[in-house]
Amino acid sequence: MARAGAAGAAIQPLARPVPLRQSVYETLVDLIVGAELGPGQHLVETDLARQLGVSRQPVREALHRLEAEGWLDLRPSQGAFVHVPTDQEVDELLNVRELLEAETARLAARAATPEQVKQLREIWQSGRAAADAADVSAAVADNNAFHAAVAAIAGNSVLADLAGIVGNRVRWYYSLVAPARSQGSWEEHGEMIDAIEAHDEARAILIARRHTERTRHAYHDSGSQS
């Protein structure tokens, strides 16, 4: 009799569904980033559970995680409120973003293949079309995809993970200024692609830093901050 787990057996890991609390968390992050839940908005646990079609427990777990990550403020006897970013928070986050993006761009310029450059140009075309059509939601999604693609090209998994964590929060701030930044942002992305394709590390760093600085100025000039 053959034993389970014998050498050569084609045993595959069991597919596990995403925990409900994770699905609730991801949905709420998307709603915040997409500005469907605006800064300062009051979130009622029972209402969220009803609207999402789940029990209160996964909603409660998701809300506590969102608070820990800075997306929400939980106030005693009042409930949950979407966090209102401060000037200092935005500046601190963008300072870190600038460091990560500059190094990511440098590594991408060193390592990029023609096929990877082609992928970046495809994302750029999609994002530019979204900006031209004033489709803020699509432009923000393409912006996130572009930065994720550059991080993947860089080939440093630790750097990519850190950039992803910071980038998710920046995606929220960017969504608040996307209408004002869209055209300029995609012009800068195009310049970044050119530098990466030319394997010009110094220019890629310069463009990445300038890109973050212009996002910072757009945020403060927009009046989105508290």
Domain boundary among 82, 110, 128: 82
The model's pLDDT over 190-214, given as tens digits with 9 standing for 90+, comes to 999 999 999 999 999 999 999 989 8
Q: Does residue 45 lie in a domain region?
A: yes
Question: 174 vs 33, which has greater pLDDT?
Answer: 33
Indicate which CATH number applies to the domain containing 165: 1.20.120.530
Predicted confidence at residue 83, as pLDDT, reads 92
Better-predicted residue by pLDDT, 61 or 70? 61
Residues 45 and 94 in one domain: no
Query: Who wins on pLDDT, 81 or 217?
Result: 81
Mean predicted confidence (pLDDT) in 100-129: 96
Decide if 111 contacts 127 (C-beta within 8 A).
no
Are 101 and 70 in the same domain?
A: no
- Does the residue 2 lie in any domain? no
Reduced to 3 states (helix: H, G, I; strand: E, B; else coil), residue 26 is helix
Mean pLDDT of the chain: 86
Please, are residues 27 and 71 in contact by the beta-carbon 8 Å criterion? no
Q: How many domains does the chain have?
A: 2
**CATH code of the domain containing 47:** 1.10.10.10
Residue after which a domain boundary falls, among 82, 99, 114: 82
Do residue 119 and residue 146 come from a single domain? yes
Q: Are residues 117 and 163 in the same domain?
A: yes
* Res. 6 pLDDT band, cuts 50 70 90: very low
Output the pLDDT for position 17: 63
Rounded Cα–Cα distance for residues 92 and 75 (Å):
24
State the residue range of the domain holding 215: 87-222
Q: How far apart are CA 31 and CA 135, in angstroms?
A: 16
Q: What are the Cα distances from residue 219, in Å, to 63, 81, 120?
A: 26, 21, 25
Q: Which of 38, 60, 82 is the last residue of a domain?
A: 82
* Residues 176 and 101 grouped into a single domain: yes
With respect to residue 11, please indicate whether it lies within any of the assigned structural domains: no
Q: Residue 185: which pLDDT band, with cuts at 50, 70 and 90? A: confident
Residues 158 and 70 placed together within one structural domain of the fold:
no
Q: How crowded is the C-beta side of 194, counted as CA atoms within 13 Å?
A: 9
Return the structure tokens found at 72.
């929400």
Q: Is 12 a member of any domain? A: no
What is residue 76's three-state secondary structure? coil
